[in-house]
Structures are given as C-alpha cells and as structure tokens.
Chains A and B, each alone.
Chain A
Amino acid sequence: MVENFVKPKISQLCEQCHSRKAQVKRPKNLQKICKECFYDVFETEIHNTIVNNKLFYPGERVAVGASGGKDSTVLAYILKLLNERYNYGIEIVLLSIDEGIIGYRDDSLATVKRNQQQYQLPLEIVSYKELYNWTMDEIVSCAGIRNSCTYCGVFRRQALDRGAAKLEINHVVTGHNADDMAETVLMNLLRGDVARLEKSTTIMTSSAGSPIKRSKPFKYSYQKEIVLYAHYKKLDYFSTECSYAPEAFRGTARELMKNLEAIRPSCIIDIIHSGENLVLKEKKIKQQFRKTSPKKVINNENDKHHDNKHNEIEIRPDGSVSLNKGGFIDGNRCERCGYLSSNKICKACILLEGLEANRAKIRLDNDTSSDGAAKLTRTLEQLSF
C-alpha cells in the first residue's frame, strides 16, 4: 500500500471519515469503516460502556481474568490503554488459573507470561492442583469427559475468587463478549433456565456465595471486532481449543447463532437488547421434579427446582451456583475448606468429595472413566434436589 498508493473510489471510502479506504465492515450496523476510525470506535465504545455503567472507581484494584486467549488478551491491553488515556486511576493485575491441562493450559500460560512482560502488569497464577489437589487432567480421567465443563466451571469460579482474595482485590473483569452474552440469552431460553433469564445480560454481578464482584466491559463488543483488533494491533494471543471440547448442547446453540449472524450480523446485539427486556411474571414457580429420561439430559441445567431446603445446591457448567434464596450470608464459611460459602459445605468441596470417593477406584482399575462419569452424574442429580 505504501509503495504504490491507489486512490480509492468514492464508494470504497470509510462511512465515518469519508476520507480513507474502508477496511472493516462493522457487524453492529453494517457500516464500512477505515482502520483509523475502527480503532477509535472500538476503543471509545468500550470506554463508554465502562463510564455509562460506572464499572470502576478511582483507586480501585482490578484483576483481569487472563487466559491468554484473544478476549482476555485484548481486554488487558485495552484496559491498560484506557486507564492511561482517561485516567481511571485503577490498578490492573493479571490473574490466571492453571487448570492443569497439558498441551493446552501450559501453552496458554506461556502467552500470559509474555503479556505480563509486554504490558508490564503484575501476574498471579493460581492452580487447581494447589487449591484442590487435583488437576483437570486427573479429574477427567476420574470423572469422564462428559462433565469436564461442570467441574472446571465450579473450580475456576472459586479459583478466580480465591486468587483475587489472595491479592486483596474484590473486582474481577472477564473477557466475555457480545457473542458470549447473546449465546447465554439463547441458551437460557432453550433450556428454560428461568432463574437466570432476567439476569443473563447484567454487565456487573455480585453473586451469592462470593464477596467478589465481576464485570464484563466487552458486553457490547463483537467477537469479530475483538479478533480484528488483535490482528491489526498484532497482539500476542493463544488460540487453541481446550482439549476437553465444550458441552455438546452449547455447541448447537453456537452453530445456530453463527447461521443467524450470516443472515443478519446485527442479531448479536439484537439478542442482547431482547435479553435486557425479558421480565418474568410475578408468580411462584411450581415445584416439580424432572423425570429421568433415556435421552440425553441437557447437562444438569434443566433441574432447577429450587426450594429453600438448607442443603439444596445446583451447579452450572460456568461454575455459578444457585444457593439459598437469602443469597450470600456474610461470614458463613464452608465447614471443610473454610472458604466463604452460604452453604454448610461449599460447592467445590461437594464435587471434591465425589472425586475423592472415586480416586481409590481408579488406582484399582484403570478403565473407570465411564463408571466415574455415571456415578458423578448420579451425584449431581442428587445434588439438585
């Protein structure tokens, strides 16, 4: 482009500055814009999201959940940039979780370590092994691959909390983008997750059972634009799928969304707009129990029939957990591990108990993965009642 500049046609010009060649087609509004305007728009929209939703306060210490993947890499880069440009006055720390997945997490952690150097940000790594004495690889060999996302979700959520607590930080920001949000809205409708329907698009959450708040500055940022930004800025990110493939049903929802997006790219923010307007009728949800079915069960998500029995707990694949309606009771601690929990025993400890029971078996017989998974499914089913 430098050597022989070809004057673009008027129809090729950026629809914002009308003076440079358009290079990006924005999925949000189908506008064609140039690289220069794209940087400005992408960065300013995230800044506006942060300001409009009052995500940070001056002097706040913020942990970026850093996986080495595209979203969290761009997030770390952009938060640092905006913090300097607009003087948020926040202190940014990278917080990574080492799940113990060989060939996946060890490589991505190397990326995070490079990011630490590139962006000059402090980095804290917390591992499943040190927290739970189990690596994800060990968990999968014990419990089978089917429930890997369930375990990993529960453990990661607590690990992020524990990591943040260790750093004395009570705000974790994550790289969830608009595509993730839209997918969650569709997933909640498809599996009838009424309990989470209204809250699924909330940008900042402080969930029951955790004193640490979470926020998603990329709530309105398209995956496509995040990838483009990383590409143009030549950001160093890691891009290999987790060795344990995502839950099959989520895969179908993702496929559906990609097909819809090909027809109407704005559909991702359209779904978020819809999600923000979903309100439940004020009616008590009838308590009913799921009958066991010979077909596949959509994870353990379908059985959310809360009552207020003390020990009722429901674990979701992303690690959030439904607890007693009273929400987080300050000061309550898990009887086993001593970690903050509004239940007697925290969800991670309940899962660990199931795992420990199976560990002995594994030593006797190497081929117990299916048995382990089946047993775990039963354990999980019991848990939700």
Chain B
Amino acid sequence: MPVSIKVEFLGGLDVIFESQRYHKLTVPNNEDESPIILKNLIDYIVNNMISDPKDVEVFIENDTIRPGILTLINDTDWELEGEDQYELENGDVISFTSTLHGG
C-alpha cells in the first residue's frame, strides 16, 4: 500500500522546494512490493520535488542526506530509527532541517 505522510523542509531548506515548507504526499508502492522505506522517500523527493537539478546537491551527498541536515522521524532523530532504512507508516511526519544557515 502506498503511504501518505507529511514532509517538512526547515532551516532555510525550503528555498529549493519553491519556498514551501510543509508538504503532504503519498509515496507510491515499490515495484517489487518491498516495504516503503525512508530511502524511497528521499528518491521520491529528488525525482519529483526538486525543480532545479542543481539544487539536488543541497539536499543529497554521496547518495544520502547531506551532512548538516538534521532528519527527524516523528520528532525523533533518524539515527535512532535506522536512518534511511526506516519503514514509513501512514501519518508519519518527516522533517529535514538545515543546521548550516547563519546564526
């Protein structure tokens, strides 16, 4: 089943998402029917939500979320939830916050 979740881009990260901080979206099923994980969401964001390809490197580095971006799964540090292997559930709130912008 596809999952419906909320995604937030904070700490200035919204600039690469047409200045839209909050998004509701549905991640489609994987072709091989495997569970939908956070990695699938990241791919979905890169393929469907970043309009300017040059901006991808603001979000991704070496195939994962760029160091300096804080990723929270329902307000919990993603490091405690298995990082990009976390299995998404309906109603999850995933937030990405840049920690790098000016103090």
Contacts and interface: CB of A to CB of B under 8 A. Distances in A.
B103 A262 contact: no
Nearest to B13: A239
B79 interface: yes
Contacts of B70: 224, 227-228, 231
Contacts, number: 68
A25 B77 contact: yes
Interface stretch (A43-51, A82-90, A175-183, A304-312): A175-183
Counting chain A residues whose Cβ lies within 8 A of the other chain, the interface size class is 20 to 34
Interface string A226-249: 111001100000011110000000
Given A24-B77, A231-B10, A180 B68 contact: no
Interface stretch (A65-73, A162-170, A188-196, A320-328): A65-73
B28 interface: no
Interface residues on B, range: 20 to 34
A69 B103 contact: yes
Contacts of A232: 75
A259 B61 CA distance: 11
B99 interface: yes
B103 A177 contact: yes
Contact of A239 (B74, B80, B95, B102): B102
Given A70-B11, A240-B15, A258-B68, A1 B74 contact: yes
A239 B67 contact: no
A270 interface: no
Contacts of B79: 25
Nearest to B77: A25
Contacts of B4: none
27 contacts: A22-B76, A22-B80, A23-B75, A23-B80, A24-B76, A24-B80, A25-B77, A67-B103, A69-B102, A72-B103, A175-B103, A223-B99, A224-B99, A227-B70, A227-B97, A228-B77, A231-B70, A231-B95, A231-B97, A239-B102, A240-B15, A241-B12, A241-B102, A258-B67, A258-B68, A259-B67, A262-B67
